[in-house]
Amino acid sequence: MKVKTKSKKVNKAWLNDHVNDPWVKLAAKEGYRARAAYKLREIDETLRLIRPGHLVVDLGSTPGAWSQYVRRRLAPDGAAVGKLDGTIIALDLLPMEPIEGVTFIQGDFREAEVLARLEAAVAGRKADVVVSDMAPNLSGVESVDAARIAHLVELAADFAVQHLKPGGALVVKLFHGSGYAQLVQLFRDTFHTVKPFKPKASRDKSSETFLVGIGLKTPPAA
């Protein structure tokens, strides 16, 4: 019973923090599906990654907050609906509620059928920016979780190598801890410029951080 009581207290504390979180309140006010939108916004506003006319691929897009931000970034007047100057393709294993102007593909991009749908959507173009908010279900076992996190980052990096323009950018989520240094090195081996980033909208007590890679070192053959 003590374990259950503690669990209830933890859940109640988390819920209380979540409800009172200023970023959660701001997201609700501005029409974003999650506070995560402000993490990407800060990264983008600092590094100026996403511009009108761009093709942006959003990996692990559900519930859609990052796609919502990109959609507003590509709109001439920053609107959530209406005219769009650019292309947004979102992918996730889970379903996602539609976002005007965003092409959503549900499935695993490692599978041939899903990749074929992506290829059809990009219509021969390379992406200007790939963003990945993918995260595994954490088990609490550090070595297992580190391996799962590393696998998703490696998948995103491999995807970027195959689908980014030579001067394009990749943004991924990862966590400080076992394997972090190796993932940073993977980015340094893959991109000319690598920048770690801890947005203000990331909770202080969270080990969550982001890596940004800009400019592929060895673009794939045409």
Catalytic residues: 173
DSSP the chain: -HHHHHHHHHHHHHHHHHHH-HHHHHHHHHT-SSTTHHHHHHHHHHH----TT-EEEEET-TT-HHHHHHHHHHSTT--SSS--SSEEEEEESS-----TTEEEEES-TTSHHHHHHHHHHHTTPPEEEEEE---PPP-S-HHHHHHHHHHHHHHHHHHHHHHEEEEEEEEEEEESSTTHHHHHHHHHHHEEEEEEE--TTS-TT--EEEEEEEEESSPPP-
